[in-house]
Chain A
Amino acid sequence: MSDIFQNVEPMVHESRISVPYHWWAGDTASRFFIDLRDSQKIMGTRCSKCSKTYVPPRKTCPTCFTPNDEWREVASQGTLISYTVVRRHQASLPKKPPIIYGLIQLEGADTAVLHIIDELKPEDVKIGMKVQAKFSSQRKGTMFDIEYFRPVH
């Protein structure tokens, strides 16, 4: 740094900006979270034109713009499509590493959900393995009403 800094002590202005937000989930996502919270059911929407079931549910099909008002329950178990193991701690992580992030395609759904995989060692995780949702005992209507996904034994 000495080559660019010409003998002047570097002054730094420290600051932290706190900007609280609240995000309205909307009718479609709200219905998903209410069913998840109250009934431990995972619901998707179906596009009749594309014959695709979306989880997370869509108000409108992203491909053809058809309103998706048909709801279908999908299984709480599915296949691991891909994953990574986060090794380094960062403030934005929900818990201490190592954390296994997974993409899970639930049975009955045509798209995947993102979530945490647990109850196995990072070296044992494999693409294609079957995993099952573990629901939280205290559910509040967020994706963490599923605490994590665990291997099906």
Chain B
Amino acid sequence: MGKKRVAIVGTGQTFHKSHRPDVNGQELINEAVQRALLDADMTIQDIDAVVIGNMDHFEGINYVDCWSVDGSGGVMRPIIKLTTGGTTGSTLAIGGYHMIASGMFEKVLVIGWEKNSESDTTGAITTAFDPVWDRLVFAGAISGLAAEAQSYMAKYGATDKDGARVSVRDRKHACNNPHAQLRKEVTIEEVLASPMLADPIHLLDVCPRTDGACAVIMACEGVAERIAPQPDWIWATANRHTYSYLNDATYGELDSMADASKELFSKAGIKDPRKELDVIEMYQPYSFAGIIWIEDMGIAPRGKGAEYIWSGATDMGGELPINPSGGVIACNPIGATGLIRCAEAALQVMGKAEERQVPDVSLALSTGFGGCFWTDTILHGKNKPAF
């Protein structure tokens, strides 16, 4: 017996903010869960199992699967935790997909969350690096990304103005999304004038720190159609990790993205992603990734990513809108971020994205990114996959 088809039938998000002192972690989780249940017109009693995740060390609470049951709905129900750093949210979605595709569960609640305001983000992220080789001489998430951008710029002659154009796009898109944290447009001049954090990355080139949660309900074929008039069918997933020591990664290209998207598109028979995809929700933690990684996906030729961005093709109304939600530069509750990309792609396919809806979406791509240089990819479709 082969795998079962799986669809997303409901999503829920908090209104993400820099600080949520009015709720504790499990109360924050509950807001997203209640909204997802409402969206799918279900009750918590309808849920067979829960998958939950967040970033290790961010709230200093281990065994979040156990601790959060009051908010997650995990009381006396199968619940497991998945955590893979920045990719946590997308890995959660892939995990929920596997649980249903395997035939073991019919309806699964997937939850990603973070109270980023509660700890030292850089200190916590540094624990992802090898303690003997990397950690003494390298810290945080920005440095690795900055080295990627430097390599790319040296190779293809891109400038920080090209990066800024991506920030301008995402911050503009975020104004259409009531759930985004930063809902104010920025200009290229403002991005370039913002403080330099790690060359060539300015403050307005990177994601903020956010408190927020996202919940997604998945169901198997036969059940999904009864819950949602237009389910979001998961066509395929693929993920890649490329190194133990940071110095082994390729800088200037994202090998994990290139290989994962190749597998994803091959599974779904996609030959020209630029023409066949209708929208992308990309885990793009800094602006230059918006140029480099679309080349790895095969959307633009090597060295031509910036040109494609400047053409307006990835803006709302363009050939292939990227991040209608405003993406990660506008909002980043890290453990939820990858799942928000997945939920936003689902909203696009289900036609429920309101002000940020791209017309007639048949195929959507959502991605997750983590550590430095890990990639998850998920392909979403309006029709049931033919495999």
Contact = CB atoms under 8 A, between A and B. Distances in A.
A21 B15 CA distance: 38
Contacts of B17: 1, 4
B22 A4 contact: yes
A83 interface: yes
19 contacts: A1-B17, A1-B21, A5-B21, A10-B21, A81-B251, A82-B147, A84-B198, A85-B146, A88-B195, A90-B122, A91-B120, A92-B126, A101-B137, A101-B138, A111-B245, A112-B247, A114-B137, A128-B154, A144-B136
Given A21-B131, A144-B136, A62 B244 contact: yes
Given A5-B22, A21-B131, A23-B131, A84 B143 contact: yes
Interface residues of A, number: 42
Interface string B232-253: 0000000000001111100110
Nearest to A1: B19
A51 interface: no
A152 interface: no
Interface string A70-114: 000000000001111111101111100000010100000001111
A85 B199 contact: yes
Contacts of B140: 90, 92
A92 B132 contact: no
Given A12-B21, A23-B132, A114-B246, A92 B123 contact: yes
A18 B197 CA distance: 28
Nearest to A87: B196
A83 B195 CA distance: 18
A134 B195 CA distance: 31
B157 interface: no
Interface centre among B20, B137, B147, B252 (most CB of A within 10 A): B137
Nearest 9 pairs of A and B residues by beta carbon: A84-B146, A10-B21, A92-B139, A85-B199, A82-B147, A82-B151, A112-B247, A82-B251, A127-B154
